[in-house]
Structure 1
Amino acid sequence: MRGSVRSILTGLAALFALFLALRGLVWVGGAVDQPIAYLLMTVLYLGTVGLCLLVTSGALPEAGPDADEDVGEMLTTAQHGPARLPQWVLGIALAMALSMPNVIALSVAPASRTAPFGTWYVGAIGLLMTIVMVRRRPWTAWIGVLLLALSTMLWIGVLPALSLGLIGSAVWVLAAQLLVMGMDRAARDTSRLAQLQRTASAWRAAQRGRQRERRVQVQRALAVAGPILSRAIERSGELSEQERVEARIAEGQLRDELRGGRLLDDGVRAELDAARRRGATVIVLDEGGLDDLDEAQLGAIRALVAGAVHDAHSDRLFIRASTHPQIAVTVVGRSARGGALSDEDTVDLWREIARP
């Protein structure tokens, strides 16, 4: 569909250029003193229009300081729109804008310079510069309009030039520039909207994944804590000392599953359980620092965490997944000073597990 629209627009521009050229060949109401030069310039003009319409070897815009604008241009450039004209075609177009008004004016009789066949170059160069503008060379297009205006005013005067199509040619070029700017803005907005939609979709997918993971963690924790909780409810809290220990361990396991899911595997759970059974208080906290790691990397980190807990003899253990760019997990152990836990406990373990 895009290719067919481009072909239709290219065909319309070519037909319009051919119409202007044929209109210039109708020598009615005046004389042409140099018909060969006149005809040669007409053929060269049609060839220049063909180059501007068909040559597609221009380079795409490169990313620069105005990255957003470059992205907008690229979205409507080349395969998605008109490509930039190469420099050599621009030189030919400017040479045509400079030479054609002068050659046509010299080719016709002085009395015929305001006749339709003597001023057809005004619309012709306007069309050529409009094509140049659409092909993303705005400075070249406006320089061509300026050259056309100076040459036309020089040969037929300011007011006749303005009344015989110079204003219309400038309006065509301006309309083409506004159209291209509108296309780029719309493409840029569409790109940003698509990016926002992709980001929102990724966020929703991540949230669904976390919700599923959280449900699995809760189910696993309830499977462990469910029996002791049921006994506590049945006996109205009247539990034996062993059952109280099991209840505290079950509570810790439940907290681990809810607050440190990505830090846990069977090996880590076993070591945490062993630490609690020997009387240590264990706190596990995952603040999201491991979300960007794959399973192999997580497995290596979990093995190191399990080893650190196994070797620890602290009264309190704090295991935290770090958001530091180099540290994945921090394991801190504190022991009671003087036999009682306080805020001034001695730090007897500090281990930082590096991010893979």
Structure 2
Amino acid sequence: MITVPRGLILSLAALFSTYHVILALYSLDAPTSPVPPLLAVLLYALATVMSLWPTCPARMPLWLAFFNVAVCVAVPLLVGSQLDGSVADNGYATWYVAAVGTLMTITATRRRATLSWVGVGFLVVHTIVWAGAGSLASMGVIGSVVWVFVAVTLARALAKAGRDARQYGLAEREATEWQAAQEAHLYERQVRLAQTIRLAAPMLRRVIQERGTLSDGQRKECRYLEAAIRDEIRGRRLLNDAVRREVMAARRRGATVTLLDEGGIDDLVGTDLEVVLNTLADAMAATTAATIIARTAADGSGTAVTVVGINSPDPRLSALGQDSPDEEVDLWLEIPRAEHAQGASAGQATRRH
């Protein structure tokens, strides 16, 4: 987008304002007394300097806008009091008409449109009362009104363009984020599909070769593979080669293993993630629990993964008529997510009855 340096705009406005001040000083000998016009020049110069101060924000402060309106009321009254409105041409003595238009144009450009209309509106009323409606064109009042109108229109158009640009930028960022998310989902699906094919393809080929007639051992192997495929879907980032190996070993000895990745370790990458997963694999290798549940912790906590191993009560106690005890917690391990997780191991697990 093409932009105009702010300093250039301020410089042009300062040149116009200085030109009006020069005309005012040049015409000081025209009025009856030079004191009111000189006071008007000082007020106008003060308002212009404050309005064009380089460090001011883009939107003019409300108090300054009101001060500019007050100056636009005072200047015509001060200068007009020393001139004869019935004279057809007062020459440069009516410098205040263009000065008011310039000051109100600056006010409108700095996003105070309503007050700029108030200031130029007073100029129109004053001119009609002081010199008649026919003087609006000859004194340049219509030109001042046009300047303010153009400034207000351009300010609103630029503001709308700025809002549209921000909205388009926001929409572009959202579209980029959506595209990145879709690409990430597609990549993850491809990875999961490749992993599933790698696990299931040998057994599927065997099923085809045997024409669906499988031994009990092969059927168990199919169930193990089905559970492993579910792990790839539900476990996601809880899996590496070591964890897959220990999960399969636990299932082969009859344990029930559940892996639940709920997004709590999505921010872990590289070595940090491998440390957590290797600690999880060590914990699963060290336990003999009948049920093992590994679950990612909530976001923002110091724990990455919680591992619980549970043993069922001994069924022989119920056969003897004794009350069955509660389930026995064989393993309880919270794997931290910080770098000191390297010191964590299955030996840190606690056994509770």
Offset at 1:231? 0.9
Structure-2 residue corresponding to 1:331:
307
**Which of residues 231, 249, 262 in structure 2 aligns to 1:256?**
231
CA contact (8 A) 1:217 1:257 kept: yes
Offset at 1:19? 8.0
Offset at 1:339? 5.1
Task: Read off the aligned partner of 1:2 and give its amino acid letter.
Answer: T
Q: Which whole-Å CA distance do the structure 2 matches of 1:167 and 1:308 have between them? A: 87
Structure-1 residue corresponding to 2:166:
191
CA contact (8 A) 1:282 1:317 kept: yes
Residue 3, structure 1, aligned to residue 4, structure 2: yes
Stretches of structure 1 lacking an aligned partner (at least 5 in a row): 60-82
Residue 236, structure 1, aligned to residue 234, structure 2: no
Show the 5 A alignment for 1:134-213: 134-137=109-112, 141=116, 144-145=119-120, 152=126, 156=130, 169=144, 172-173=147-148, 176-177=151-152, 179-213=154-188
Q: Which whole-Å CA distance do the structure 1 matches of 2:328 and 2:152 have between them? A: 70
Residue 265, structure 1, aligned to residue 263, structure 2: no
**Which of residues 220, 223, 227 in structure 2 aligns to 1:245?**
220
Offset at 1:241? 3.8
Task: Read off the aligned partner of 1:329 and give its amino acid letter.
Answer: V
Note closer, same or farther for the CA distance 1:334–1:252 as it changes in structure 2 (3 Å cut): same
Offset at 1:236? 2.2
SS at match of 1:313: coil
Offset at 1:304? 3.8
Q: Which whole-Å CA distance do the structure 1 matches of 2:124 and 2:184 have between them? A: 66
Note closer, same or farther for the CA distance 1:337–1:238 as it changes in structure 2 (3 Å cut): farther
SS at match of 2:56: coil
Structure-2 residue corresponding to 1:58:
56
Which stretch of structure 1 is more off in the superposition, 102-111 or 255-264? 102-111
**Which of residues 5, 30, 33 in structure 1 aligns to 2:31?**
33
CA contact (8 A) 2:76 2:123 kept: yes
Deviations 1:260-297 (A, max 9, x none): 22111122112212211211122323233333333344
Q: Which whole-Å CA distance do the structure 2 matches of 1:168 and 1:3 have between them? A: 25
CA contact (8 A) 2:192 2:233 kept: yes
State which structure, 1 or 2, has the greater radius of gyration over its C-alpha atoms: 2
Deviations 1:51-82 (A, max 9, x none): 478532114xxxxxxxxxxxxxxxxxxxxxxx
Q: Which whole-Å CA distance do the structure 2 matches of 1:248 and 1:311 have between them? A: 24
Which stretch of structure 1 is more off in the superposition, 101-110 or 168-177? 168-177
Offset at 1:41? 7.0
Q: Which whole-Å CA distance do the structure 2 matches of 1:87 and 1:290 have between them? A: 52
SS at match of 1:2: coil
Offset at 1:4? 6.7
Note closer, same or farther for the CA distance 1:205–1:178 as it changes in structure 2 (3 Å cut): same
Structure-2 residue corresponding to 1:320:
295
Structure-2 residue corresponding to 1:274:
249
Please give the root-mean-square deviation of Cα atoms over the aligned residues, in Å: 4.6
How many aligned positions are there?
A: 324
Note closer, same or farther for the CA distance 1:350–1:176 as it changes in structure 2 (3 Å cut): farther
Task: Read off the aligned partner of 1:127 and give its amino acid letter.
Answer: T
Q: Which whole-Å CA distance do the structure 2 matches of 1:87 and 1:182 have between them? A: 21
Offset at 1:178? 5.1
Calculate the TM-score normalised by the size of structure 1: 0.68
Task: Read off the aligned partner of 1:260 and give its amino acid letter.
Answer: G
Offset at 1:346? 3.6
Which stretch of structure 1 is more off in the superposition, 115-124 or 185-194? 115-124
CA contact (8 A) 2:44 2:71 kept: no
Task: Read off the aligned partner of 2:4 and give its amino acid letter.
Answer: G
Deviations 1:201-258 (A, max 9, x none): 1232232123223322322332233212211221123333443333332222222223
Q: Which whole-Å CA distance do the structure 2 matches of 1:161 and 1:346 have between them? A: 102
Task: Read off the aligned partner of 1:249 and give its amino acid letter.
Answer: Y
